[in-house]
Amino acid sequence: MDPITALLEKVLIDVRPHDDGQPASYIPELASADPDLLAFGVVGPRGRVITAGDDGAEFTIQSMSKPFVLALALQTLGRDAVFARVGAEPSGEPFNAISLEAQTGRPANPMVNAGAIATTALIDGADIDERTSRVVAAMSAFAGRSLWIDESVYSSESGTGDRNRALAHLLKSYGIIRGSVHDAVETYFRQCSVLVTVRDLAVMAATLAFGGRNPVTGERVVSERVARDVTSIMASCGMYDFSGEWMLRVGLPAKSGVSGGVMAVATSQFGVAAFSPRLDAHGNSVRASAIVEILSDRFGMHVLEPHESIAAPGVTVEESAAGPVVRLGGELGFAGAERVISLLREIAASTPSAAQITVDAAELARVHPAAVLVLRTEIEALAPRFRLLE
Ligand code: GLU
């Protein structure tokens, strides 16, 4: 067993004893889930998928569909059209609360049911089937394989969905839903009933983590900006009314669902998904949450943890007849630019004053405007000894 898989297996051993909580009971089909199932998966930048535990177990995506339908709406309609109908504020209330803005009726955010139904209603289509196939196609692109719906969960969901119907009618009364309430709600029930495994969910999370590009298939699914917007909403609203404390303890944008799944996004590092059906009082899986918390801790993934290497370019120095050539590769951010400048000063101090020092920034894969400005300004001040190639 390779060391990373061994490390992940150890996480399962550590969380298995947590057997508190109960599977969701308000939808009959979910109540019958095997409560002992336990699995998780991690997907890194090169699309390597590592899973542990009951990784073949399929479960319905439930609320974890919400970020992906939001992504589809943002990608097709743009930010303004979407956020005109749904807010971006954590509600601090349970997922099925009537969290609507007083004057406008706009739901608090797209991660609570009211906001998710409003978002689904934005997806165009002649009927439920057409809308559903758009939604499932988008989710499939995130997962890198064709996903399908568990029809018995859908029937159970639709058969017990009066509260969601009531929310949708309220949204219609405010003009947030413009078309058919029935189509919007049934499409929403169908999107919640899509079957996934931890592998699928981890790939879906990884697609958000790597800026909207699926690291397994290589397909660009949504733009970098859309992936960033969705991840931002997950960071503040993804874990029901535990979202603030989750950010404090785990520090990763995440989304949970009542089937017992949790998926989390470590931007530029990993997509993570875990599954175990027993839920706590907030509706979050006890063991799946524990897994993500342990991973965040052991792998140093909390977004607000200081990282030495953030946007620091790779630097190589070569000698040429005219003088040293400093080649920059990778990503140049603001703090990275400062480091490069102090390195250039050291090189200047140890180089004969007649030599010209060339800074080659042409091969940088990613550059932030403020960083280039700092580098350019500094090099111009040091000219003619320095020359910048961009
Ligand atoms: N289908 C569920 C509902 O709307 C989704 C709930 C969830 O996962 O939070 O009731």
- pLDDT, tens digit, 9 for 90 and up, residues 143-152: 999 999 999 9
Q: Average the pLDDT over 216-242 and give the result.
A: 97
Ligand 1 center from residue 373 Cα (angstroms):
47
* pLDDT computed for residue 238 by the predictor: 95
- For the stretch 148-172, pLDDT in tens is 999 999 999 999 999 999 999 999 9
Q: What percent of the chain has pLDDT over 70?
A: 100
Same-domain status, 285 and 250: yes
Greatest Cα-to-Cα distance within the chain, rounded to the nearest angstrom: 82
Q: Rounded to the nearest whole angstrom, what is the distance from the C-alpha of residue 116 to the centroid of ligand 1?
A: 10
Query: Within this chain, do residues 127 and 243 fall inside the same structural domain, yes or no?
Result: yes
101 located within any domain: yes
Name the residue with higher pLDDT: 91 or 281.
Answer: 281
- State the sign of the Cα–Cα–Cα–Cα dihedral 178, 183, 189, 193: negative
* C-beta 62 within 6 A of ligand 1: yes
Which pLDDT score is estimated for 381?
A: 86
Contact 362, 389 (CB under 8 A): yes
Percent of the chain with pLDDT over 90: 78
pTM comes to 0.92
Among 113, 117, 194, 263, name the best residue to mutate to test ligand 1's pocket (greatest count of ligand atoms within 8 A of Cβ). Answer: 113
Ligand 1 centroid – CA 66 distance (Å): 10
- Read off the pLDDT band of 205 (50, 70, 90): very high
| Structural domain total, the chain | 2
- Range with lowest mean pLDDT among 33-42, 92-101, 136-145, 310-319: 92-101
Residue finishing a domain among 299, 330, 349: 299
Statement to judge: residues 285 and 195 lie in one domain: yes
Phi, psi of 148, rounded to the nearest 5 degrees: -140, 175
Mapped to the 3 state alphabet, what secondary structure does the chain carry?
A: CCHHHHHHHHHHHHHCCCCCCECCCCCHHHHCCCCCCCEEEEECCCCCEEEEECCCCCEECHHHHHHHHHHHHHHHHCHHHHHCCCCCCCCCCCCCCCCECCCCCCECCCCCHHHHHHHHHCCCCCCHHHHHHHHHHHHHHHHCCCCCECHHHHHHHHHCCHHHHHHHHHHHHCCCCCCCHHHHHHHHHHHHCEEECHHHHHHHHHHHHCCCECCCCCCECCCHHHHHHHHHHHHHHCCHHHHHHHHHHCCCCEEECCCCEEEEEECCCEEEEEECCCECCCCCEHHHHHHHHHHHHHCCCCCCCCCCCCCCCEEEEEEECCEEEEEEEEEECHHHHHHHHHHHHHHHHCCCCCCCEEEECCCEEEECHHHHHHHHHHHHHHCCCEEEEC
- Does some domain include residue 47? yes
Q: Give catalytic status of residue 26 as yes or no.
A: no
Q: Tell me the CA distances in angstroms from 104 to 100, 112, 171, 172, 176, one per residue in order.
A: 8, 17, 10, 12, 8
pLDDT reported for residue 302 = 94
Average pLDDT, the chain: 94
Give the whole-angstrom CA distance, residue 209 versus residue 267. 4
> Looking at the domain assignment, is residue 181 inside a domain?
yes
Q: What is the pLDDT of residue 330?
A: 93
Picking from 102, 1, 111, the residue whose alpha carbon sits closest to that of residue 65 is: 111
Say if CB 40 and CB 8 are below 8 A apart.
yes
In a shared domain, residues 247 and 322:
no
The verdict on 84 and 122 lying in the same domain is yes
Residue 175 falls inside a structural domain: yes
Does residue 246 share a domain with residue 379?
no
118 or 311, which is more confident: 118
299 confidence band (pLDDT: 50, 70, 90): confident
pLDDT for residue 326 is more than 80: yes
215 and 159 share a domain? yes
Ligand 1 pocket mutation, candidates 63, 91, 152, criterion most atoms within 8 A of CB: 63
Which CATH number goes with the domain that contains 357?
3.30.750.24
Range of the domain at 206: 3-299
Per-residue pLDDT tens for 77-117?
999 999 999 999 998 887 778 878 888 899 999 999 999 99
